[in-house]
């Protein structure tokens, strides 16, 4: 005998939003940051990411090296690296190519070595906690979304706009209250352990 509809709905919500689910912690952390940090959608790069000037100064070398890798047809799909991103793929069945170089402080050395200009940049700037090559295919639809927490600034460096090849950087925010700084480092630490346990560097390598 099947349980009543209301009971099934409650059970489904518990399963979907239980503390063992990524989305439960994501919403809790997001609430903490939303209560304490307010900022416009676009912020001043020179103030919050002065190192970005180095990227622009070396733009030609970064672009040439990155596009050689990005347009090789060997980038893994974002949802293949991180299963939580699968809904972005299933929405239109167009694969979003992604090559992580650093994820929440966790380095991907094999991928970094493919782009020497970015390797040296990342070595000089540990405040850049995430960096990735993003290849957004023509016709891909990216629905409105938010990150799990506001402890970083997201910086985009477009390299090939026709096919929307973009470099993504997450830069640690220095304007957080002290208690959020601690929470941010805890989140980064857990994310690094999680990537190692799931063997994400292996899944994030170029396809052979």
Is the pLDDT at 165 greater than 90, yes or no?
no
- Decide which of 144 and 181 is more confident: 181
Is the pLDDT at 25 greater than 70, yes or no?
yes
DSSP track, the chain: -PPPHHHHHHHHHHHHHSTTSHHHHHHHHHHHHHHH----SS--HHHH-TTHHHHHHTHHHHHHHHHHHHTTS-PPBHHHH-GGGHHHHHTTT---EEEEEEETTEE-HHHHTT-HHHHHHHHH-TTEEEEEEEE--TT--------S-SSEEEEEEEEETTTTEEEEEEEE-SSS-HHHHHHHHHHHHHHHHHHHHTTHHHHTSPP-
Query: How confident is the model at residue 152, as a pLDDT?
Result: 93
- What integer is the mean pLDDT of 60-79? 93
Write down the mean pLDDT value for the chain. Answer: 87
Query: How confident is the model at residue 8, as a pLDDT?
Result: 59
Inter-axis angle of helices 22-36 and 178-197, to 10 degrees?
160
Is the pLDDT at 48 greater than 80, yes or no?
yes
- CATH number for the domain whose boundaries are 41-203: 2.60.120.330
- What integer is the mean pLDDT of 29-41? 87
Q: Which of 15-29, 139-153, 187-201 has the highest mean pLDDT?
A: 187-201
5-14, 24-33, 125-134, 166-175: the lowest-pLDDT one: 5-14
**Tens-place pLDDT, residues 90-135:** 888 888 899 999 999 999 999 999 999 999 999 999 999 999 999 9
Q: What residue segments make up the domains of the chain, in order of their start?
A: 41-203
């Amino acid at each position: 005998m099947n349980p009543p509809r209301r009971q099934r709905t409650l059970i489904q919500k518990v399963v979907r939003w239980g503390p063992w689910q990524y989305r439960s912690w994501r919403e809790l952390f997001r609430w903490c940051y939303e209560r304490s940090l307010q900022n416009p959608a676009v912020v001043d790069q020179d103030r919050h990411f002065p190192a970005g000037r180095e990227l622009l100064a070396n733009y030609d070398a970064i672009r040439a090296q990155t596009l050689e890798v990005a347009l090789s047809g060997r980038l893994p799909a974002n949802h293949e690296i991180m299963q939580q991103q699968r809904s972005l793929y299933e929405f239109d069945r167009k694969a979003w190519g992604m090559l992580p170089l650093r994820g929440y402080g966790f380095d991907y050395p094999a991928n970094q070595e493919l782009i020497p200009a970015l390797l040296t940049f990342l070595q000089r700037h540990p405040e850049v906690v995430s960096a990735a090559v993003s290849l957004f295919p023509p016709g891909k639809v990216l629905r409105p979304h938010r990150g799990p927490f506001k402890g970083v600034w997201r910086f985009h460096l477009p390299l090939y706009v026709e096919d929307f090849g973009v470099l993504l950087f997450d830069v640690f925010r220095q304007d957080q209250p002290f208690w959020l700084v601690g929470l941010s480092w805890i989140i980064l630490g857990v994310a690094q352990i999680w990537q190692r346990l799931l063997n994400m560097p292996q899944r994030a390598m170029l396809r052979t």
